[in-house]
Structure 1
Amino acid sequence: MPRNSLAQSDLLPGVWREVCRHIEIEASTTAVARAVADHLPLRAVVILRADAESRTVETLACGTSRGGFTPGARTPPLPTATWQKLSKWLRTDEVIDTSSDEQAAWLRSVLPTGFEVDLLAGPLHSGRDSLGILVMVAPPGRPFSADDRELFRRLLEPLTVALENDGRLHELRSLREAAEADRQTLLSRLGRQDLNEDVVGARTGLKHVMERVELVANSDLPVLILGETGTGKEVVSRAIHTRSKRADGPFIRVNCGAIPAELVDSQLFGHEKGSFTGAAQQHQGWFERADRGTLFLDEIGELPLPAQVRLLRVLQDHQIERVGGKSPVHVDVRIVAATHRDLAAMAKDRTFREDLWYRVNVFPILLPTLRERLEDIPALVRHFAQRAATRFGLPAVEPTDSDLRLLSAYAWPGNIRELGAVIDRAAILGGGRSLAVDVALGLGRPQAPPPPASDQATLYEVIPESSVPLEAAPLIAEDEIVPLATAMRQHIERALASTRGRIEGQRGAAAILDINPHTLRARMRKLRIDPTRFRD
C-alpha cells in the first residue's frame, strides 16, 4: 500500500478521535501533534487566528514535538492590500508549501515571528466563515514531500471542527459570565445574597399574599398583582416565577408605561428586518425572549388600546406575529401582570378592554400597603440597611428602637420603595456609624422658615440647594383637624406617590389634582415637597 494511503488509514481516525475528545483548541492541537509526529516529519503544529477587527494574525495554540512557538504572539496590523490578499486566501482550500511555493515570502509576511522555516499552511474555514490557519513546521533539513502535502490537506477538516468547538466554548463562557454579571447586579439592586431568599414579611404582613403565591405558582394561569405603587409587585412576581416549573427559564420584566406608543408592537412582539425605517436587522420582542419562562407586564393599565387587542390575541392563541412578519411564531410564556390602577373601573370607562381584563384577572393578588403591615417595618429596615451597606461599601449597622418608632409613625405614601430610599439616605448620612433616620425623614434639624410665597407660577421646577432636610407629612387621623398646609401637603404627596413623582401629562399629579402644573410646582416649593422622593 502506498505510504500516503497507509498513513491516512492509520492517522485520520486517530485525529478525529482526538478532536472529538477535546473541546479546547490547546488540548486538541497538542493531541493532534503527538498523533501526526509518527507519520510526518514534524517540528510543530500551530493554529493561528486572523482578527479582522485589528487586521492582525495571532498564535492561538501550539503542539510541538521538538522546539516551540509562543501562543499569544501577534503580528502588527497588516497593510490593507496584504490583509485583503490574506482574507481572499482564507476562503480557499489552497495549501502553501514555503519550500517550493512562490507565495512563500508573502505567507511569512503575514505570520508572527518565528516562522522563517519550511512549513505547510492551509486555511481553516467553515462555509464563508474564515476561522484561522493551520501550520505544520518541518524540522531543519527535512522538507515536506508531495505525500506529506496531501495528508496535510486532509487534516484541515478535523482541525476546522476543533477550532469551531473552541469558538463555541468561549462563546458559552462569555454568555455565562454576562449572565452571572447580570445576576450579581440584580442581587445588588434587590439587596440579596440569593434570588431564592424568602420574601421579607412572608410569615407576617405578607402571609396571605404568599399563601396565594404558593397556590398559583405551579400552574400556568395568568396572575394579576394589584396594589399601590411601591408595594413590592415585582418581588412577588419573581416569587411566583422562582416557585414555578418555569424557574429555570427567563424572567423578563417590561414596564408598559415606559414604552412609547409607536414602539409598543416592536418591543413586545419584535420586528423583521426592513419592516420600517431603522429596522436594520430582525429583532426579537419580549414575548420571544421570555419563551418557556415568565413575562412580567408591569403597569399593564398603561398599554394603548391597540396593543391591548394584540396582547389579548397572544393570550388566547399563544402566537405572536412580528412587525412586518408573514407567519405566526409560537411562544410558551406565562403572564404575570401588575398595576396600581383600578382596571375594573377603566374597563367600565372603556379605557381598558373588558375582554382583556377578564383574561388577566384570572387569579388576582392584592398587596397590602406598608401602612397595613407595620409589623414588617423592623425586618424591612434591617434588610434595606444591609442592602445599603453592600451597595455603598459601608459597615452594616442596626436600626435603634428610636429609629423604628420614627419609621413606624410615618405615613409612607410611597410604601416599600420610599422606605428603601429613606434607609439608603439614612445610611449615607450616618456614614457607617448609625442610621440617621431622623435626618433622612426631615425631622432631625429645626426647619428654616419657608421661602416667601409667590402667586406667580414659574416655568421650571427649581429645588433650592439647602442643607435643611424636607419635612415629612404626618399621618392624619380621619377625625383630626389639622392646619390647611399639612392637609394640602399630604394630599399632594399622595398624588405624587400614585404617579411616581410625575407632575405633567395626562397621568401626572397635576391632572389628578385638576391644577395647572406650574401652579402645582409653586405650591410644592412653598410646602417644601420634593417630587424626587417618589420616583423610581
Structure 2
Amino acid sequence: MLHTYASMLEVWREACRHIEIAESVAAIADQLSQWLPIKRLLIRRLDPVTYHLETVADTLGSKDESRDRGLTELSSDNIERLMKWCQLGELAHCASRHHEHSFTLAAIPTSLTDNVLIGPLISEHDTVGLLIMQLRPDAKISEHDEVLCKRLLEPFAAALENDRRLRELKALRESAEADKRSLLSRLGRDALGDTVIGADNGLRQVMQRVQQVADSDAAVLVLGETGSGKEVIARSVHQRSTRAGGPFIRVNCGAIPPELVDSELFGHEKGSFTGAVSRRRGWFERADEGTLFLDEIGELPMAAQVRLLRVLQDGSFERVGGETSIQVDVRVVAATNNDLARMVQRGEFREDLWYRIAVFPIVLPPLRERSEDIPALAEHFAERAARRFGMKPQVLSAHDLSLLAAYPWPGNVREFNSVLERAVILGDGERLDVSQALGVASETTPPLPQSTSSNSERKQLKNTEIQPLDVVIRSHIERALVASRGRIEGPEGAADILRINPHTLRARMRKLAIDWSRYRQ
C-alpha cells in the first residue's frame, strides 16, 4: 500500500510540474514503466462541440505512428454510447479489436491492436478526454495493477485540464495582441503611449480635464461627434490612472444585438441558452481592476440600462443563467455622439443611469473647431499612410493645408485620416494630391451617385402619379444620406434628420438595398 501511495505522489508531481502536457505524459510514463508493463501511453482530447478526438500526447513518436496524431470523428451512435460509458469512470480492457465495447474501439487508434486499457478523463463532471495505455503483448494485469491504473485517471485529467486552460490563455493573448495592433492602426500610433495630437493646441482643455479626473475612480462620459476621437480620450484617461497596468476593454454598445447584451456584458453559464456550450466571462469580468470603455452607450436597450445601473452602483452582477453574485472593481468610461439629455427627456435613456455615468463629462470638440491641429494631424497621417503603403513620405504644401483647413470635416479625424490616405495613393509616392483626394467632398452638397436603378426610378417617378411606398421611402432616405454626407448617427446624421433610431434606419436600408457607403464623403 505504501508503495502505491508513493507511486501516485510521483505521478501527481509530474502532472503538475510541467506546462506542456506532452512533457507531463512523457515524465509520468517513465515512472509507470517501473511499476506497470506499459509499452505506449496516449492522451486524447474530446471536443465538447464536435465530439472529435485529438491526440495531444503520445509517448511513441515514430513516423509510423504519426497518423494517430490527427482527429478522429466518431459516429453519433458511438458518441452517445461512449459518453454514457465515460460517466461510469471505469477502465475497459480491450484484449483484441473484437472487444465487446465497439464504441471504445472507435476511439482507439487503429495501430493499437491488442492488449489496450482505456479510461475516461473527467474534470468537473465533464468528460474532457481519454487515457489509452497499450500494454506489452505478453503482459497480464493483476487486480492491484488495475486499481493503480484507475487511480491514474484523475492526475491525467488534471494535466489535460491545465493544458486546455493554457491553450485558452494563449488564444486570449493572441487575440489581445491582434486587438492592440488593430487599435494602434486605427489611431495611427506605433505604441499605446504615443502623444495625443493636439494636446497642446485644440485639445488643451480636454487633456486638462483628462488629467484632473484620471487619478480618481469617477465615471467619465466623453461627448463628441462621430470620428472625433472619443476612444483616444478614453484610453488617455486609463493610461494616466492608477489602473494603467490593468486591462482596457472597449465595448461597442451599438454593435451588440439586444438579445446578447447581457451575455456580452456579464457573461453566461454553460447551458444557460441555446448555443452556450461553455461558461463565458463577460466584459465586466474581463475588465476587473481596469477600465471598461462603453462606446455608443446611448444605443443600449432600456432593459440592459437597468442591469448596467446595478453594476455601477455596487459592482456586482450575475452571469446569465448563474446564481452566484460576482464582485468586480471596474472603472467605467462611457462615450456617445447622441444628446443623452434630450434622450432622457424623451424617455429613451434612464435618468438615473445618466446621472451615474455623467459624473465627469468631457466634451470633445469637432475638428472644424480646432483648425490649429490640422497641420500636425496632416503631417502625422500623411507619414503614417506613406509608411503603410510603402511610399516615400511627402511634405504638405501651404496650398494643401489651406484646402484641408477650409473643409468642414463632418466625419472629423476619421474622415481626415481617410482623405490623407487617399492623397498619398493618388500622388503615387511623388507628391500629395490633396485637392483630388477631397474631390466632391469639398462641395457643399455632393450629387447623388448615379446608377441604373436610380435612372429607372426617375422614369417611374415621371410616369406614375402615385409612387409605391418603398420607392418614396428609399428616395427620402437617400436625400437624408446626401444631406448628412453618408453619416448615419450623431448630430445632423441621417437618423437624426429623419428622427428615427439609427438601428431602425439601418434595418430599413438593408431591406431597400441602399448602399450608404456611396454617400460617404
| Residue equivalent to 1:498 | 491
1:139 aligns with 2:139: no
How does 1:323-362 map onto structure 2 within 5 Å?
330-340=327-337, 359-362=356-359
Say whether residues 1:532 and 2:520 are aligned partners.
yes
Q: What are the residue-to-residue correspondences of 1:376-525 with 2, within 5 Å?
A: 376-389=373-386, 393-395=389-391, 397-401=393-397, 402-442=399-439, 459=472, 460-461=474-475, 498-502=491-495, 504-506=497-499
Corresponding residue for residue 108 of structure 2 = 111
Q: Distance in 2 between matches of 1:79 and 1:425?
A: 54
Structure 1 residue 444 displacement after superposition: 11
Matched residue of 1:12: which SS?
A: helix
Deviation at 1:114, TM superposition (A): 2.0
Residue 234 of structure 1: aligned partner: 231
Alignment partners' CA distance in 2, 1:498 and 1:307: 24
1:86-235 map, 5 Å:
86-99=82-95, 103=99, 106=102, 107-235=104-232
SS of corresponding position for 2:73: coil
The structural deviation recorded for 1:438 is 0.7
Paired-residue identity, % = 49
Note the C-alpha offset of 1:252. 4.2
Q: Is the 8 A contact 2:40 2:135 kept in 1?
A: yes
SS in structure 1 at match of 2:222: strand
Give 1:29 deviation, angstroms. Answer: 0.8
User: TM-score by structure 2 length?
Assistant: 0.73
1:18 pairs with one of 14, 31, 35: 14
Gaps of 5+ in 1: 465-489, 510-528
Once residues 421 and 318 of structure 2 are traced to their aligned partners in structure 1, the CA distance between those partners, rounded to angstroms, is 44
Answer with 116-125 or 498-507: which moved more: 498-507
Q: Distance in 1 between matches of 2:79 and 2:312?
A: 53
Q: Decide whether aligned partners of structure 1 residues 326 and 40 sit closer, same or farther in structure 2, where only a CA change above 3 A counts.
A: closer
Residues 50-82 of structure 1: CA deviation (Å, up to 9, x unaligned): 446555544321235999954853475344434
Stretches of structure 2 lacking an aligned partner (at least 5 in a row): 449-457, 503-516
- Provide the secondary structure at the position in 2 that maps to 1:171: helix
Alignment deviations for residues 245-289 of structure 1 (CA, whole Å, 9 cap, x no partner):
223444344556677889888876789999999999999776556
Q: TM-score, normalised by structure 1?
A: 0.72
Distance 1:95 1:371 in 2: 74
Indicate the SS of the match to 1:43: strand
Q: CA deviation at 1:437?
A: 0.9
Secondary structure at the counterpart of residue 405 of structure 1: helix
CA distance in 2, matches of 1:505, 1:14: 72
Closer/same/farther in 2, CA of residues 495 and 22 from structure 1, 3 Å limit: closer
Looking at structure 1, the residues matched to 350 and 101 of structure 2 have their Cα atoms a distance apart, in angstroms, of 74
Q: Larger C-alpha radius of gyration, 1 or 2?
A: 1
CA distance, structure 1, for counterparts of residue 423 and residue 195 of structure 2: 25
Contact 2:316 2:327 in 1 (8 A): yes
- Quote the RMSD (CA, aligned, Å): 4.9
Superposed CA deviations along residues 320-342 of structure 1, whole A, max 9, x for unmatched, are 68899999765533233344566
Partner Cα distance (1:35, 1:304) in 2: 59
1:21 is displaced (CA, Å) by 0.9
- 3-state SS, counterpart of residue 133 of structure 1: strand
Q: 1:115: how far off?
A: 0.8
- Residue 77 (str. 1) matches residue 73 (str. 2): yes
Q: Quick one: structure 1 residues 418 and 508, their matched pair in 2 at CA, closer, same or farther if it must change by over 3 Å?
A: farther
Secondary structure of the 1:61 match is: strand
Q: Residue 444 and residue 307 in structure 1: after superposition, are their counterparts in 2 closer, same or farther (change >3 A)?
A: closer
Q: Judging changes above 3 Å, is the alpha-carbon distance between structure 1 residues 315 and 44 closer, same or farther for their aligned structure 2 residues?
A: closer
CA distance in 1, matches of 2:306, 2:79: 54
Shift of 1:439: 0.4
How many residues are paired up?
483
In the alignment, which residue of structure 2 is the partner of 1:476?
none
Aligned to 2:37: 41
Distance 1:350 1:98 in 2: 69
Tell me, yes or no, if the aligned pair for 1:403 and 1:437 is still in contact at 8 Å. yes
Shift of 1:423: 1.6
